[in-house]
Structure formats: structure tokens, C-alpha cells
Amino acid sequence: MRIETALILCAGFGKRLNPLTLKKPKPLLEINGITLLENTINLIKKLNISKIKINSYYLKDQIENFISKKKFNIDIEIIDDGDKILDTGGGILNLTKKSKDNNFLVFNPDTIWNLDYFDVIQEMESYYFKNKIDNLLMVVNKSKSFDKRLKGDFELKINLLTKNQKFNSHIFTGCQIINKNLLIKFGDKSFSIIRVWEDLIDQNKLYGFESFTKFEHITDIEIYKKLAKNY
């Protein structure tokens, strides 16, 4: 991998998984005895990425304690969002500030990231650098989703993402590659990554890379229980 640093977004409240997340942050929920966070870290290590940065806010002490007790044998830094939660865009920007890197692989840990994603992430990175783009989202057709209730986020046409008001065929998986310079203009504040995507869509510059792996995402407590039972 040319990308040296991966980011994992762990600051959120996980309200759709209450009451499980009233006393435990969502990334520390387990599937088959392994936390969602550890599962994400294991995939990152397989990709030979050398550094991981994790943002924290809600129940942050538990995230810190979990990382400190585990021996992951990879450089992991936890960065607090601060006095208030920074949302997805602000959280990514805050994680990248002190890094010399420009391009980052970003994960939401509430997808079950397994080794089936190994090849597609490598192909995705190759496409990103070959085409000299600034944001590339891994997407999946809705037919691949375990949660059949999920609505599509985007339309995908030859790696270009658009939004349709009536129907969107593809779902964002929770993995993307992004250049931090896209985020700077939004300032040091809380903002959603969706604002960045909408800005790129307006310029016809938001790109997608399709995965054909079965998409298992922890949408809410109902889906979590079903997935936990399946494993």
C-alpha cells in the first residue's frame, strides 16, 4: 500500500444501538467474540499500513483502555475530538492535522471488515493514485446488503457518483480514501463528511469504487442481534 496512515472513526454515540451503547461505545461491541474496532484494525494490519489514528469522544476512556491493553504491534494514536463531537468531516480533519501525509484510508468500524475486502481495497488505492483524484468511496449495490431496509446513497456510473432524488442503487460501505486538502476549507469546526461529498458531486468529482463483497453493516440493534446470531 502507498497509503501509510489509516483513520478509524470512533467518536459517535451509537444511539441506534441503545441500550447496548449506553455504557459501551459502538466500536467495542462484539461479533463472534471480536470487537468491531479490533476487526477493523486486523484488516488494516493485513494491508501493511504502518500507522492508525483513531478519534474519540463518547466513552473515550473505554476506547483508550482497550487499545492500551491490546498488543496490536502497530503504531496507534488516539486523538480526542475535544470539547464537542466534531462529526465525521470535522473528525477526519482533526485526525489529519498533525500528519505529514496527504492521503488517508478512512474506516467507519460499524461495518464488519473482513479479509474479503483485502483485494478490493488494494485495487481501490491503485485506482485512486492512477487517476489522481482526491476522494474515492467504496460502494456496494443494495442487493449485497445484509440489511435489506437500507436505501441507496448514490448512483454509480463508470466510477462517478451522483445522487438521484427518487432512487439510488449503491450504498457507501464506510471505507474511503481522501486527500486532507479537501477538508481544510470547511474550517476547524464540526461538520459532516456529506458536505464534502455534496461539494464534489456539484463538480462531478466524487468517485466510487464498487465492492462485490457481502455488505454487513451494524445499522441498529435489530441488525446487530441478527448478525451476532449468524456468526
DSSP result, 162-212: E--SS---EEEEEEEEEEGGGTGGG-SS---HHHHHHHHHHTT--EEEEE-
Find the domain containing 74 and state its range: 5-230
The pLDDT of 112-121, averaged and rounded, is: 96
For residue 183, what pLDDT band results from cuts at 50, 70 and 90?
A: very high
Instruction: Quote the mean pLDDT of the chain.
Output: 96
Identify the CATH number of the domain in which residue 185 sits: 3.90.550.10
Has this prediction a pTM greater than 0.85? yes
pLDDT score for 188:
76
Q: What is the predicted pLDDT for the residue at 119?
A: 97
pLDDT digits (tens, 9 = 90+) for 67-91: 999 989 999 999 999 999 999 999 9
DSSP state of 32: T
Per-residue pLDDT, 168: 96
Which three-class secondary structure state does DSSP give residue 101?
coil
pLDDT at 73: 93
Pairwise CA distance, residues 3 & 82, whole Å? 27
| Overall number of domains in the chain | 1
Question: Cis omega (within 30 of 0) on the bond before 19?
Answer: yes
Q: For 154-171, what is each residue's pLDDT tens digit?
A: 999 999 999 998 899 999
How does pLDDT run across 188-216, given as a tens digit for each residue? Answer: 789 999 999 999 999 999 999 999 999 99
pLDDT value of position 231: 85
Residue type, 208: G
According to DSSP, residue 133 is labeled: -
pLDDT tens digits for 40-68? 999 999 999 999 999 999 999 999 999 99
